[in-house]
């Protein structure tokens, strides 16, 4: 018997949702002061497990022990009373309030504003969290907002802090700062559960990690002594397939298929991002990657490209030589532009409708004369997408909401790839996919480009862009950096650009109609 019991111990936790075993006899233990990784692909059961710990979901079976005592965590409130704090992937902050006020709202004890202010300052200084209590959250960068969330969690003096994919919104430099802070917190005795699917992060940060696959524990490891290969094998079961780069066959020299010229748009939503002088062009056979931390204007740019945001002034968006700036979304699609939005549930797909019905969002095959629907065609189309892209679903009649994030992503990306577009704009193409599926999607995108499709990829995952794209631009605060060929790009430089620190762009040389090649254009190897 060891002297100190684990801070948190889970024994045989199981939770079923209908036919899906989200957690199947999961064991996990976290010692005081330990940074414990929870590794697994989306759909592996990480989120369910964390919700069980946090009391938001109740397990069907199993035992939760806290400091050696069996406890039943009935609600998040009880979890907080035990000393469990959670930083969610999606922040719950009020944009119109200051940092202090946001923290204040999250505290359960009745404190005066002054006391809160003092404690915010003290804790922020303690952990090296640079934050000014008087600033409005609206003005903060995503990384700073995350710090507010963490600060809010720290003020409750947690004994276990759960972080859910915290670096997905951070630049590499900001992630490094977060790690420093977490290590300091752990040194003070706080246990940390660090949820991620990024192997290198878990290897750098965690002293132990529990690996989940399909709801079951496939291993408890010391990440530092594992290789990326052995870890991903635990996560995926089989060695991940490497992406076979498809050499481009279409001439990159041809006229650009998608051109944006001097596009500036004031922000549409109160807390959106304004676009400033966006110039870009994508040629057939080319994959242009847009890097940048989320919320830097990517969503706004995508809206203007797809036609969801109809405000683009005439002459700013050109598709296959045609000015489509004022053309609605459906017509742009008819011209040959397909888009995959970042938000899958609710935008890329209607959660309450079947996959067959969801093909109707962007596909016209199931529409018969006089606007009647051919459901059989829609079902067959959905079945084809399911088969071709390995979507795990109970057939074409499964509602979109019943799919895991990764599988829905495969379906949506597949639906657009399958539509045989001439220009494909895709946001976060492999977000939440397991390595195998991600490799397949990347392979499909590369194949599309090889067949002469102009592909624009917006991604927060730099590794993905380096692997996939021919050229890179970085988006920060609504502006685009100069364009740089991927083989000349360096992570450190891109990271610096992501914070908005990049040289002004040279004026684009290529005309909309011309076949002339822009000065920044690189030939493909």
Partner 1 sequence: MAAPSVSSPPSSGASRLLSARAAALLSPLAALVITVAIGAALFAALGKPPARALAMFFVEPLRDGRALSELLIKATPLAMIALGLAIAFRANVWNIGAEGQFILGAIAATGVVLFAGPGAGRWVVVALLVAGVAGGMIWAAIVAWLRDRFSANEILVSLMLVYVAELLLGYLVYGPWKDPEGFNFPQTITFAEATAIPRLVTGYRANWGSVVALASTACAWLFLYRTYAGFQLEVGGIAPRAAAYAGFSPRRALWTALMISGGLAGLAGALEVAGPLGQLTPHLPVGYGFAAIIVAFVGRLHPIGIVFSSVLMSMFYIGGELSQSRLGLPKALTGVFQGLLLFALLACDALVERRKRR
Contact present, 412 and 349 (Cβ < 8 Å):
yes
Binding flag, residue 92, partner 1 (CB under 8 A): yes
Alpha helices in 54-132 (DSSP H): 76-82, 99-106, 113-126
From the list 343, 365, 463, 501, which residue makes contact with partner 1 (rule: CB under 8 A)? 343
Binding flag, residue 93, partner 1 (CB under 8 A): yes
Return the range that interacts with partner 1 (CB under 8 A); candidates 34-42, 277-285, 305-313, 464-472: 305-313
Q: How far is the CB of 157 from partner 1 (least distance, A)?
A: 25
Residues 126-165 that bind partner 1 (CB under 8 A): 142, 145
Contact present, 55 and 77 (Cβ < 8 Å):
yes
Rounded Cα–Cα distance for residues 438 and 499 (Å): 27
**Tokens at 318, concatenated:** 């050109």
Give the list of residues 6+ apart from residue 267 with CB closer than 8 angstroms, or none.
273, 274, 300
Return the range that interacts with partner 1 (CB under 8 A); candidates 235-243, 268-276, 382-390, 427-435: 268-276
Binding flag, residue 367, partner 1 (CB under 8 A): yes
From the list 306, 325, 404, 499, which residue makes contact with partner 1 (rule: CB under 8 A)? 306
Binding flag, residue 239, partner 1 (CB under 8 A): no
Binding flag, residue 390, partner 1 (CB under 8 A): no
From the list 307, 406, 495, 518, which residue makes contact with partner 1 (rule: CB under 8 A)? 307
Q: How far is the CB of 308 from partner 1 (least distance, A)?
A: 5
DSSP E strand stretches across 214-319: 216-221, 258-265, 275-282, 287-291, 317-319
* Cα four-point dihedral sign 323, 325, 329, 330: negative
**Closer CB to partner 1, 71 or 367, in the complex:** 367
Give the list of residues 6+ apart from residue 314 with CB closer than 8 angstroms, or none.
323, 325, 326
From the list 329, 435, 453, 468, which residue makes contact with partner 1 (rule: CB under 8 A)? 329
Give the list of residues 6+ apart from residue 259 with CB closer than 8 angstroms, or none.
280, 281, 282, 317, 318, 510, 512
Strand, coil or helix: what is 271?
coil
**Closer CB to partner 1, 20 or 142, in the complex:** 142
From the list 320, 350, 450, 517, which residue makes contact with partner 1 (rule: CB under 8 A)? 350
**Closer CB to partner 1, 330 or 490, in the complex:** 330
**Tokens at 297, concatenated:** 């204007």
H or E element in which residue 418 lies? helix 405-418
Give the list of residues 6+ apart from residue 457 with CB closer than 8 angstroms, or none.
287, 288, 289, 290, 426, 427, 429, 445, 464, 465, 468, 469
Rounded Cα–Cα distance for residues 427 and 171 (Å): 18
CA angle 424, 427, 431 (to 5 degrees): 125
Binding flag, residue 266, partner 1 (CB under 8 A): no
Strand ordering across the sheet containing 275-282? 275-282, 258-265, 317-319, 322-323
Strand, coil or helix: what is 378?
helix
Binding flag, residue 25, partner 1 (CB under 8 A): no
Q: How far is the CB of 332 from partner 1 (least distance, A)?
A: 8
Q: How far is the CB of 242 from partner 1 (least distance, A)?
A: 33
Instruction: Give the number of residues in contact with partner 1, rule: CB under 8 A.
Output: 43
Phi and psi based region of residue 320 (left: phi greater than 0; alpha: psi -120 to 50; beta: remaining): left
Binding flag, residue 185, partner 1 (CB under 8 A): no
**Closer CB to partner 1, 33 or 106, in the complex:** 106
Binding flag, residue 115, partner 1 (CB under 8 A): no
Rounded Cα–Cα distance for residues 217 and 10 (Å): 12
Binding flag, residue 360, partner 1 (CB under 8 A): yes
Binding flag, residue 277, partner 1 (CB under 8 A): no
Q: x/- site string to partner 1, residues 282 to 301, per CB under 8 A?
A: -------------x------
Binding flag, residue 195, partner 1 (CB under 8 A): no
Binding flag, residue 172, partner 1 (CB under 8 A): no
**Closer CB to partner 1, 235 or 273, in the complex:** 273
**Closer CB to partner 1, 316 or 339, in the complex:** 339
From the list 341, 421, 432, 518, which residue makes contact with partner 1 (rule: CB under 8 A)? 341
Rounded Cα–Cα distance for residues 470 and 524 (Å): 7
Residues that bind partner 1 (CB under 8 A): 57-58, 91-96, 142, 145, 269-271, 295, 306-308, 328-333, 339, 341, 343, 346-353, 357, 360-362, 367, 371-373, 375
């Amino acid at each position: 018997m060891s002297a100190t019991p684990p801070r948190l111990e889970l024994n045989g936790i199981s939770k079923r949702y209908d036919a899906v075993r989200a957690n199947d006899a999961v064991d996990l233990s976290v010692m005081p002061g330990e940074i414990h990784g929870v590794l697994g692909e989306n759909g592996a059961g990480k989120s369910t497990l964390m919700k069980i710990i946090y009391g938001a979901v109740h397990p069907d079976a199993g035992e939760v022990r806290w400091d050696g005592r069996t406890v039943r965590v009935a609600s998040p409130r009880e979890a907080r009373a035990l000393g469990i704090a959670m930083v969610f992937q999606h922040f719950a902050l009020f944009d119109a309030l200051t940092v202090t006020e946001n923290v204040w709202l999250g505290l359960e004890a009745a404190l005066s504003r002054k006391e809160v202010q003092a404690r915010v300052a003290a804790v922020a200084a303690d952990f090296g969290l640079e934050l000014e209590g008087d600033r409005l959250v609206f003005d903060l960068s995503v990384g700073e907002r995350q710090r507010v969330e963490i600060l809010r969690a720290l003020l409750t003096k947690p004994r276990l802090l759960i972080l859910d994919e915290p670096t997905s919104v951070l630049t590499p430099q900001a992630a490094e700062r977060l790690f420093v802070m977490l290590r300091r917190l752990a040194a003070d005795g706080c246990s940390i559960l660090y949820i991620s699917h990024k192997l290198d992060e878990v290897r750098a940060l965690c002293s132990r990690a529990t690996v989940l696959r399909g709801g079951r524990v496939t291993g408890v490891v010391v990440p530092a002594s594992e290789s990326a290969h052995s870890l991903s094998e635990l996560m995926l079961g089989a060695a991940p397939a490497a992406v076979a780069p498809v050499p481009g066959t279409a001439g990159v020299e041809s006229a650009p298929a998608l051109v944006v010229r001097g596009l500036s748009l004031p922000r549409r939503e109160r807390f959106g991002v304004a676009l400033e002088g966006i110039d870009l062009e994508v040629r057939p056979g080319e994959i242009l990657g847009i890097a940048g931390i989320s919320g830097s204007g990517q969503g706004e740019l995508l809206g203007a490209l797809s036609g969801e945001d109809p405000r683009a002034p005439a002459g700013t968006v050109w598709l296959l030589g045609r000015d489509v700036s004022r053309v609605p979304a459906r017509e742009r699609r008819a011209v040959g532009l397909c888009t995959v939005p970042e938000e899958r549930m609710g935008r890329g797909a209607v959660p309450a409708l079947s996959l067959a019905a969801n093909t109707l969002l962007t596909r016209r095959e199931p529409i018969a004369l006089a606007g009647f629907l051919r459901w059989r065609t829609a079902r067959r189309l959905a079945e084809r997408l399911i088969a071709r892209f390995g979507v795990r679903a109970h057939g074409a009649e499964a509602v979109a909401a019943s799919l895991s994030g990764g599988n829905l992503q495969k379906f949506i990306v597949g639906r657009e790839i399958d539509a045989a577009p001439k220009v494909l704009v895709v946001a976060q193409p492999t977000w939440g996919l397991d390595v195998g599926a991600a490799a397949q999607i990347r392979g499909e995108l590369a194949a599309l480009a090889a067949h002469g499709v102009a592909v624009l990829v917006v991604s927060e995952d730099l590794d993905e862009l380096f692997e996939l794209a021919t050229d890179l631009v970085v988006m920060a605060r609504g502006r685009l950096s100069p364009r740089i060929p991927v083989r000349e790009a360096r992570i450190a430089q891109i990271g610096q650009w992501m914070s908005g620190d990049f040289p002004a762009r040279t004026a684009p040389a290529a005309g909309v109609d011309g076949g002339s090649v822009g000065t920044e254009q690189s030939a493909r190897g």
